[in-house]
Chains A and B, each alone.
Chain A
Amino acid sequence: MNLALLMPEWIVLGILIILTVFELLLVDNEILYKRVRNIILFGGLASVALALMATSGQTGSVFNGTVIVDPFGTFFKLLFTGALAAVIQMSRSFFRARPEKTHEFYLVLWIALAGFFLLVSSNDFLVFFLGLETVTLSFYILTAYLKKDSGSIESGMKYFILGSLASAILVYGISLIYAVAGSTAFPAVRQAFTAAPQHGILIAAACMVLAGLFFKVAAFPFQLWVPDVYEGAPTPVVAFLSVASKSAGFAALLRILWTVFPALEKKWLLVFPAVALLTLLYGNFGALVQTRLKRLMGYSSIGHAGYLLIALSVGGKSGLSALLYYLAAYALTTLALFGGICAAEPYLKSDKIEAYRGLGKRSPFLAGVMFLALLSSAGVPPLAGFSGKFLVLLAAVQANLNWLAFIGVMAVAVSLYYYLNIVRVMYFDESPREDSISVCLATRAMLTLLSAGILAAGIFQAPVLSWAENAVKYLF
């Protein structure tokens, strides 16, 4: 057993302990605490990223094969680490103007990171459920973090009730699998499925597991919670939820579908395209009538899940590498967008789209970044979002899913309407206030980096694509 393989995870745990200790030690000294905390958080993220890169090519398993390390997991771990860095910066600007104390907030964010790491490395249903619940419980706390804000409480409550239901279904599925296969280890369960692909209980169990994961990625018909939760939760949490939680859901889906359920491939190919279609339509048409930006982002994230599910239905190396590329592009785009929202929100004091009137004048920088991110989200070349959509749709056409690709293509035109509507408000409408919005240097740096990433990933597709292809190889 080579525990050095888990170097990034050890660092995550170490930082978690350090963070807890310092929080207890410096509980009275707010200013010193904040400084130390920032150093620990960003230093910790940098060292995690370094450790991930250092172990990037390695594969192996630890803890009796319940946890595996491979480039597929590393791809997602890097994604989570990068996303958390952006989310922490967003949280700093978000809480600056708010009365809440943030001691537990960053701690819980970090626990969620640990959960994500465990989730994408799991090779056993028990470890998988442990990782998933660590993440989900953290998000229950995070979404309801603004104790005095009824919207936040409501969103936390909704997420908690529906999330527990999804978890319950999932864990029941796992118990059924254990009942038939006699084991929770992925390889053993895979054998059970291969031996009896028509086994009724196994198929029912697989459906339950998939339902639990579809809840996470907001696939139809498990998407109803998304707009409500997005609307009320603190903005940085929404960003983390929409980027990291969705990516983790897809990582788990890919891992389980391709390493545990491959025997069911013929069956799921009948279902997934329909799910993808409905998710796509629900998200894009739902977004058309929204008047609140975060709620609109909820619908748009359902729409994006639709494209990701198209890639999932295609399967194979081309479909899955397109999926990973799309996720990376989606992460860059969404983080840039939420970064802009977080920086503007304290000044606008409202989540309504019409509050963004005149942002182009009040802060050309923020409006510019959001314009770019909205275009990328809609899939306009030469931005990251376009390359993602191009790869997904090309893979779909190659796999003869023509009708699905056609709907996917047409949804681009629909989505452009509601994205451009935000641009219209930001640039064309006059604001009732003229005072400019100041953006702190760190946020500026983050948004500039993300924008550069959106452009770079859109123009030079090859590096990200080959990285995704390399990661996907380990699923087959």
Chain B
Amino acid sequence: MIAFLPWIPLAAALVVLFSSAKNERFLKTITLTACSLCSVSVFIYFLNFKPEGGFQFVTARPWLPAFGIQYKSGFDGINLTLCLLHALVSLAGAFVACAPKERLKEYLFYYLILTGGIYGVFTSLDLFFLYVFFEMTLIPLFPMIGIWGSKNKEYGAMKLTLFITTGAVLAFFGLLLFYREAGIHSFDLVQLAQVLKARGGFSIGFQHFVAPMLIVGFGVIASLWPVHSWSPIGYAAAPTAVSMLHAGVLKKMGPYLILRVAVTFLPEGVKHAAPWLSVLAGIGIVYAGLAAIRQSDMKYMVGFSSVSHMGYVLLGIAAMNSVSLSGTVLLMFSHGVMAACAFAAIGFLYEHTHVRNLHDFGGLAKSMPFVALSLILACLASLGLPGFSNFVSELLVFIGAWRQFPAVVIAAVFGVLITAIYLLRAVREVCYGKPNPRWAHLKDAQGFAERFPFILLLGALLIAGIWPHVLLRVIEPAVGALLS
């Protein structure tokens, strides 16, 4: 079943492609069914997962034996957590994507390809397929942003695609070197790990050479400073469901791949690059936070905020100990859910008002209590209020990184303060204050289809916040296995 996870949305995409564009109801049903099916099965895997290191539910079938390529999938605590994140966000996003719009058929087609590709990245245990799915997810974004986006959309779409692809091909080159250096004609991550363990790992020189390549290559999509500039522009231009998936899940593919490939196989190289990475992460946290303060467009603000928060994730990776990495994985989950929720709320407001400027709103807590509450909760989670898992995970990252990079941690804690400034200001401007009479006629989110995405995401945020152990119990053994 796990091997089919990416193929369910992809098959649904084919069905959508060959059905009539007029039958919107059918198209929506297909999309929602495929996404729910995947989400439910991920949830079942999560319940049946035994919290211990190593991969579970592994399936493999040979694909291109001449190069040792297999179609291999399986879960450990890390990709299971991220798959769970994707299950939540893609389902919520599917409801948002099904909202009425022009050329709905094409939109859902691309959305399903995107969803399937992300499942592929988070389930594959073969480097070849990992890369194939990774690059596959980048392409649907281009038409999705370009056709259905807003404000500077053509520029945003092109910039986003080119930046991430350039990073991806750089990492691809690293992977090719990696394959040759391992010399066992295999892309199988499990087998590579065993063989390299027995051999004592790659030579130090090779690790020092390739690890930065992978960190920068995959770091582009994680909006590593200074290659982050595609991110706020891209998110501001993207339609709601794309912003949700991209900020929520897609961005996490970068750190995930760094963990899965660089940290696992090139630990010495990562350690060598860690001081640089931590400094870049620290600059990213503060710089993007300060930039977010200056924004009046809400989407730009949340875009910069996500750049800033990915800095914590990268800082956790740079510290490379079990505490910081557990914090990193948990933060990827928490930030993903929170970012998706924030973008869903902003998208909802934009759909109805067609403005995104902070100062154009006001007093929405009165006229749209539900959406306003969702936005407020997402913002509170984002600024690290205890009770949300963002707090727990950021704390873990700080504790883990304190010994190696105290200066960066101080900057990062300062970053939390900056986050509080711009998010609280946004909450004040949008939800409270004098009600703007322009929005008096606005209706709150109504009915199941409109409210469900928020309920799903906020529920997950609260559960993970109150009881982070439910995720940490699967993350910690996996991180331990990764580091050993």
Name A residues whose Cβ lies closer than 8 Å to a Cβ of B. Answer: 360, 364, 371, 375, 380-382, 386, 390, 393-394, 397-398, 402, 405-406, 409-410, 412-413, 416-417, 420-421, 423-424, 427-428, 461-462, 465-466, 469
Q: Are A409 and B136 in touch, CB under 8 angstroms? A: no
CB neighbours of A382 from chain B (8 A): 132, 136
Q: Which of A371, A409, A417, A461 contacts B162 (CB 8 A)?
A: A417
Interface string of B59-89 (1 = CB under 8 A from A): 0000111110000000000000000000000
Q: Which of B106, B128, B161, B170 contacts A420 (CB 8 A)?
A: B161
Overall SS of chain B's interface: helix
Q: Are B143 and A397 in touch, CB under 8 angstroms? A: no
Number of interface residues of B (CB under 8 A): 34
CB neighbours of A360 from chain B (8 A): 147
Q: Are B158 and A424 in touch, CB under 8 angstroms? A: yes
Q: Are B173 and A461 in touch, CB under 8 angstroms? A: no
Q: In this assembly, does B176 line the interface, its C-beta being within 8 Å of a C-beta of chain A?
A: yes
CB neighbours of B67 from chain A (8 A): 394
For the A-B complex with A386-B135, A409-B173 known, give 16 more contacts whose Cβ atoms are closer than 8 Å. A364-B106, A381-B131, A381-B136, A386-B132, A393-B176, A397-B180, A409-B176, A410-B166, A410-B170, A420-B161, A428-B146, A428-B154, A461-B63, A462-B63, A465-B66, A469-B66
CB neighbours of B136 from chain A (8 A): 380-382
Complex Cα distance, B68 from A408, in Å, reads 23
Complex Cα distance, B174 from A409, in Å, reads 10
Q: Contacts A382-B136, A394-B179, A420-B158 hold; do A428 and B173 have CB atoms under 8 A apart?
A: no
CB neighbours of B147 from chain A (8 A): 360, 427-428
Question: Which A-chain residue is minimally distant from B154 (CB atoms)?
Answer: A428
Q: In this assembly, does B153 line the interface, its C-beta being within 8 Å of a C-beta of chain A?
A: yes
Q: In this assembly, does B225 line the interface, its C-beta being within 8 Å of a C-beta of chain A?
A: no
CB neighbours of A410 from chain B (8 A): 166, 169-170
Complex Cα distance, B24 from A399, in Å, reads 53
CB neighbours of A380 from chain B (8 A): 135-136, 138-139
Q: Are A416 and B177 in touch, CB under 8 angstroms? A: no
Question: Which B-chain residue is minimally distant from A466 (CB atoms)?
Answer: B66
CB neighbours of A469 from chain B (8 A): 66
CB neighbours of B133 from chain A (8 A): 381
CB neighbours of A402 from chain B (8 A): 177
Complex Cα distance, B133 from A39, in Å, reads 44
CB neighbours of B131 from chain A (8 A): 381
Complex Cα distance, B154 from A465, in Å, reads 38
Question: Which A-chain residue is minimally distant from B128 (CB atoms)?
Answer: A390
CB neighbours of B169 from chain A (8 A): 409-410, 412-413
Q: Contacts A382-B132, A382-B136, A420-B161 hold; do A397 and B177 have CB atoms under 8 A apart?
A: yes
CB neighbours of A405 from chain B (8 A): 173, 176
Question: Which B-chain residue is minimally distant from A394 (CB atoms)?
Answer: B176
The smallest C-beta distance from B326 to any residue of chain A, in angstroms, reads: 32
The smallest C-beta distance from B56 to any residue of chain A, in angstroms, reads: 26
The smallest C-beta distance from B37 to any residue of chain A, in angstroms, reads: 22
Complex Cα distance, B176 from A409, in Å, reads 10
Complex Cα distance, B165 from A381, in Å, reads 12
Q: Are B143 and A423 in touch, CB under 8 angstroms? A: yes
The smallest C-beta distance from A328 to any residue of chain B, in angstroms, reads: 15
Q: In this assembly, does B265 line the interface, its C-beta being within 8 Å of a C-beta of chain A?
A: no
Q: Are B161 and A397 in touch, CB under 8 angstroms? A: no
Complex Cα distance, B161 from A375, in Å, reads 12
Q: In this assembly, does B256 line the interface, its C-beta being within 8 Å of a C-beta of chain A?
A: no
